């Protein structure tokens, strides 16, 4: 059964399509007048000088990989691979500086990839802004997403490949990528900037391993926890990659006209908060960078932390599983007070996933908090794809970084 909102849109479009019919009754004529008025309203110019029925511009980068996007924007690019202690082969994308410079490591959120940082025009993309300033920019990819779906002994077709949660990502992926970057560049420190899950999983090893202490973390939207039901699907281990049918579906439903793009942008609003700060013309690039795949356990852990309330905990295997894994009936709690690396938190006052209450709780637990900044009208995706993100956020973030 179709969602009522979708049926409503289809009905409206069908009404407009028949608006030139000949009406013989007063009631039909009234309907005709209403539909013609609606059509004229939709023909009015938007802020970008286009009508809602105009076709979206085609963007060649929709089919590009992150390295291809970087090259297309006129920047040098390198592709690196690092193998974690538990055998996952992760892909890193680098925008190198011409001479050895300070390193900035950008990490994407859940269901995304390194391409998240490359969607916006170069003038408001953090990765390209940093590269223009001569920083050595590295973009990570978590295990299970489209660019880190290899293993030394397992394949993605095996259930064992997908048996990972935040804990493995935080305790294996993050340290492995950091150590590789520092070794490759010869630098002793790096600055880490994460979005959404990219921050939550970075806090896990910081609260567990004392040796990661000197890096300055700039954190916004630290972890997503507004998931109501644990997603354990029988026989499904890895999911939510828009490749294939999903890609074609989004292209058909969301990417033909501005009115379709605005409707799909409204879907973002229902999930993450107000979306008016997202450019509808960029919807094709949002779609191909939004669902890049992860494990069911990663999604389930969001729900577990939400249901537990005021806690940042490891994956909950149930009483018996927890006894075997942690030696207690409850899962391990990460002690955020142990984090000695200086942290700066950026958050959004209109974020439906990471609410101000969530952020306030986090701030109360961090003992080495260097500061925080809440952007009142920002929701979850504004931090990476907002129209005014350079002025409202990135300029402040860059000001906190050491000179390149």
Token pair of 317 as six digits: 């295997």
- 392, part of any domain: yes
What is the span of the domain harbouring residue 365?
64-226+335-400
- 98, part of any domain: yes
- 308, part of any domain: no
- 59, part of any domain: no
Distance from C-alpha of 194 to C-alpha of 139, rounded to nearest angstrom:
10
Per-residue pLDDT of the chain (404 residues; tens, 9 = 90+): 434 333 333 333 332 333 333 344 555 555 555 555 555 554 454 555 656 556 666 777 878 999 999 999 999 999 999 999 999 999 999 999 988 899 999 999 887 899 999 999 999 999 999 999 999 999 999 999 989 999 999 998 888 898 898 899 999 999 999 999 999 999 999 999 999 888 888 887 766 643 344 444 454 433 333 333 334 443 444 555 545 545 566 666 665 666 676 777 677 666 667 777 888 777 776 767 766 678 888 888 878 888 888 888 988 988 888 898 889 999 988 888 888 888 999 999 988 888 898 899 999 999 889 999 999 999 888 999 899 999 999 999 999 999 99
191 is catalytic: no
Please check whether residue 126 is in contact with residue 198, taking contact to mean a CB–CB distance below 8 angstroms: no
Q: Supply the angle between the helices 283-290 and 258-272 in degrees, to the nearest 10.
A: 40
352 is catalytic: no
Structural domains counted in the chain? 1
Q: How far is CA 334 from the centre of its chain?
A: 23
- 191, part of any domain: yes
Instruction: Kindly name the residue from 196, 208, 275, 347 that is annotated as catalytic.
Output: 196
- 209, part of any domain: yes
Predicted structure pTM score = 0.78
79: CATH: 3.40.50.1820
Instruction: Kindly name the residue from 173, 351, 358, 382 that is annotated as catalytic.
Output: 351
358 is catalytic: no
Token pair of 226 as six digits: 């507004």
Instruction: Kindly name the residue from 108, 151, 237, 380 that is annotated as catalytic.
Output: 380
Neighbours of 335 (CB within 10 A): 11
- 274, part of any domain: no
CA dihedral 112, 114, 119, 120 (to 10 degrees): 120
- 319, part of any domain: no
């Amino acid at each position: 059964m179709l969602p009522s909102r979708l049926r409503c849109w289809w009905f409206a479009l069908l009404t407009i399509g028949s608006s030139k019919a000949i009406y013989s009754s007063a009631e039909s004529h009234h309907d005709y007048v209403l539909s013609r008025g609606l059509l004229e309203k939709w023909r009015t110019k938007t802020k970008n000088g286009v009508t809602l029925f105009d076709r979206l511009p085609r963007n060649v980068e929709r089919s590009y990989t992150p390295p291809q996007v970087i090259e297309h924007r006129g920047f040098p690019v390198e592709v690196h691979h690092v193998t974690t202690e538990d055998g996952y082969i992760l892909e890193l994308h680098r925008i190198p500086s011409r001479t050895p410079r300070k390193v900035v490591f950008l990490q994407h959120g859940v269901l995304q990839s390194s391409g998240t940082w490359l969607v916006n025009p170069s003038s408001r993309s953090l990765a390209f802004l940093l590269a223009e300033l001569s920083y050595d920019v590295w973009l990570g990819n978590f295990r299970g997403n489209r660019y880190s779906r290899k293993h030394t002994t397992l394949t993605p077709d095996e259930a064992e490949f997908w048996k990972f949660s935040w804990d493995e990502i935080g305790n294996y992926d993050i340290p492995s990528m950091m150590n590789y970057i520092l070794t490759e560049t010869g630098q002793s420190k790096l600055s880490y900037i994460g979005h959404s899950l990219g921050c939550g999983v970075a806090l896990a090893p910081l609260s567990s391993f004392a040796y990661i202490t000197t890096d300055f973390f700039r954190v916004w939207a630290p972890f997503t926890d507004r998931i109501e039901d644990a997603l354990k699907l029988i026989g499904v281990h890895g999911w939510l990659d828009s490749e294939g049918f999903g890609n074609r579906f989004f292209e058909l439903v969301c990417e033909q006209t501005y009115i379709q793009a605005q409707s799909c942008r409204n879907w973002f609003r229902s999930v993450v908060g107000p979306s008016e700060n997202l450019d509808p013309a960029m919807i094709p690039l949002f779609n191909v960078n939004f669902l890049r795949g992860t494990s069911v356990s990663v999604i389930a852990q969001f729900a577990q932390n939400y249901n537990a309330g005021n806690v940042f905990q490891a994956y909950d295997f149930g009483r018996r599983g927890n006894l075997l894994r942690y030696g207690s009936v409850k899962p391990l709690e990460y002690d955020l007070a142990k984090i000695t690396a200086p942290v700066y938190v950026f958050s959004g006052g209109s974020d439906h996933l990471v609410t101000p209450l969530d952020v306030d709780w986090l701030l109360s637990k961090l003992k080495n908090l260097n500061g925080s900044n809440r952007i009142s009208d920002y929701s979850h995706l504004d931090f990476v794809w907002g129209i005014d993100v350079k002025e409202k956020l990135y300029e402040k973030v860059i000001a906190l970084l050491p000179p390149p």
